[in-house]
Amino acid sequence: MTAGETTRIRLADMAAIAEAAALLDAGELVAIPTETVYGLAADATNGAAVARIYAAKGRPSFNPLIVHLPNGEAARGHARMEPLAQALAARFWPGPLTLVLPRLESSPVAALVTAGLPTVALRVPAHRAMQAVLAALGRPLAAPSANRSGRLSPTHAAHVRESLAGRVPLILDAGPTSAGLESSIVSVVDGKARLLRQGAISREQLEEVTGPLEIAEDADPVAAPGMLLNHYAPALPLRLNAASADAREFLIGFGAVAGDANLSPSGDLVEAAANLFDFLHRAQSSGRTAIAVAPIPTHGLGAAINDRLKRAAAPL
């Protein structure tokens, strides 16, 4: 949204759902109730729209987002569904269960959604309003909780407005959310299910499907995507604040520094964030032996971009 615009709250009737889908189709954000908390949604296939989520929340880093789908069938277009994942989906979807699964190359979800990770977090929400928007848009929605970074998750439309006024054009209001708790997160990778986050579905309920469930340790790279992001640094050495590059380096440009690929010739940080992970992958497979990155401003989304680049430059 542009400066000076206000945030409107609309009852989630059919006309409001249609407006929400039109805004999302145009790359805007909409706050939408789910059965867990209110989510700040963007078209998951539009990298610039996803970048606006991080900007609106003021997130200092790109932690991966949950992708919301209309049904379990849709998950097959995004991730490898092992039998255990299928069993969990059959039992708990639609509902407050998020599955972290190996991502398919062919998934149209923007790289920024998964912060460049090889896994993707999927959920089928059980809420009339969220389902109606998914159906009207016909594309998956990336949606973290609709609050400024570090604030409490919102369970009322008024909470969203307190936190995000002026940062989201439309909030759909369907009253208080019923679970009020975030979704439980389970990863299913290589035949093994692990509990990454306790949430609205109890461990006991999950274990009826999975058998005894391992609780992932904080140090586990799948459980703590921050850790995985460190390990998932490019295999090539990466140099920051480069005004120019030598012949061995792939230069990722920004603004006036053109480089081999320019994150944003106009110096737009939303555009740069949307391109970041694709360009890191492109640099990696370019055949050069090192990566250099032009200086990126540190304000707004630049903070998260620099955070990610510093991790890539100095893996822990």
Q: Which residues bind ligand AMP (CB under 6 A)?
A: 63-66, 100, 114, 117, 119-121, 144-145, 182, 185, 196-197, 222, 225
Q: Is 107 in the site for Mg ion (CB under 5 A)?
A: no
Q: What tokens were used for 252?
A: 């990722």
Supply the minimum distance, in Å, between the C-beta of residue 230 and ligand AMP: 14
Q: Three-class SS of residue 133? A: helix
Least Å distance between CB 40 and Mg ion?
9
Q: Which is nearer to ligand AMP, 222 or 233 (CB)?
A: 222
Among 145, 163, 183, 275, binds Mg ion (CB under 5 A): 145
Q: Which of ligand AMP, Mg ion, none binds 114 (CB below 5-8 Å, type-dependent)? A: ligand AMP
Are 51 and 145 contacting, i.e. CB atoms less than 8 angstroms apart? Answer: no
C-alpha 173/C-alpha 129 separation (Å) is 9
Q: How far is CA 199 from CA 96, 150, 181, 184, in A?
A: 8, 18, 6, 4
Q: Which is nearer to ligand AMP, 66 or 112 (CB)?
A: 66
Q: Give a three-class secondary structure readout of 162-220.
A: HHHCCCCCEEEECCCCCCCCCCEEEEEECCEEEEEECCCCCHHHHHHHHCCCEECCCCC
Q: Please report, as residue ranges, which positions from 254 to 313 form the binding site for Mg ion (by CB under 5 A).
A: none
- Give the CB-nearest residue to Mg ion: 145
CB 145 to Mg ion: min, Å: 3
CB of 265 to ligand AMP, least distance (A): 30
Please name the helix (run of DSSP H) or strand (run of DSSP E) that holds residue 197, with its range, or none. Answer: strand 192-197
Pairwise CA distance, residues 287 & 122, whole Å: 33
- Minimum CB distance to Mg ion smaller for 145 or for 210: 145
Cβ–Cβ < 8 Å for 98, 144: no
Choices 106-114, 141-149, 166-174, 288-296; region in contact with Mg ion by CB under 5 A:
141-149
* Nearer of residues 115 and 293 to ligand AMP, judged by Cβ: 115
**Interface with Mg ion (CB under 5 A):** 145
